[in-house]
Chain A
Amino acid sequence: MLVDIRVQEEGFSLDAELARLAGVGLDVGGIGLFMGLVRGDGGLAALVLEHYPGMTESMIARIVAQAGTRFGLLACTVIHRVGRLPVGAPIVLVLCAAAHRGAALEATEFVIDWLKTQAPFWKREEFPDGQGRWVAARESDEAAAARWGMDGPTES
């Protein structure tokens, strides 16, 4: 499996990332895609994302490795942005390439579900008046990960 994991401040080109996975091999039959954006509800101006360098990359690598085995992926790309991101900006991109659509789509959900609860990122909301607050973890995210019926790919 071809794996590409990046944590970065800068944006990404969806076209370039898709083209790269489409070119992995003739056995790629489909690419599952999830792109998360900064949602502007509650008058939000921006999100500021921080992470735990080193641990973040190794946790995402474990999630991706688990997805690769479970769904027979041919390639997987995860790009997660950090720093200050205005409303509407892309935050995260998950691409999973497989022979068939079922595996590609399921793997994409698996990776983003586990990433939300197991990769050490934290979001802070910024409002136009300069006020800010840290986002609280949501139980629904834990539930989404738990439905995969395992402790978690990051348990050592």
Chain B
Amino acid sequence: MVEILYFAWLRDRLGRSRETLVLPDDGVPSVRDIMDGLRRRGAAYEEVFAAGGGPIRCAINQEFAALDSPVHAGDELAFFPPMTGG
């Protein structure tokens, strides 16, 4: 299982701040694989994870990650827009 977190406009659009995802038994998915899977969940997901939906950053276990980073069971995977602090 992977804990997925959403922040800022992604959370607003999806109507949730977190959810749990069961990983397939075979192979190690990448972040991109997980995004592809999420996109099939409905219109809001399609919009958030669409190729042209705007820049999305991700982190695995609170470290910045890339789209081809592997995701393992027990990981915390976060999706968020580019940061705007300070």
Contact B83 A137 (CB under 8 A): yes
The yes or no answer to A117 lying at the interface (CB within 8 A) is: yes
Interface size on A, residues (CB 8 A): 31
CA distance A66 to B26 in the complex (A): 40
Q: Are A121 and B62 neighbours in the complex by a CB distance under 8 Å? A: no
The interface residues of chain A, by DSSP majority, are classed as mixed
A13→B84 CA distance, assembly (Å): 24
Question: Within 8 Å CB of B64, what residues of A?
Answer: 154-156
Judging by beta carbons under 8 Å apart, are A135 and B78 in contact? no
Query: B69: shortest Cβ distance to chain A, in Å?
Result: 11
Q: In whole Å, how far is B52's beta carbon from the nearest beta carbon of chain A?
A: 15
User: Considering residues B7, B12, B82, B85, which has the most beta carbons from chain A within 10 angstroms of its beta carbon?
Assistant: B85
User: A154: shortest Cβ distance to chain B, in Å?
Assistant: 7
Residue contact A49 to B62, C-beta cutoff 8 Å: no
Interface residues, chain A, with chain B CB atoms under 8 Å away: 36, 49-52, 54-55, 58, 80, 91-92, 112, 115-124, 134-138, 141, 154-156
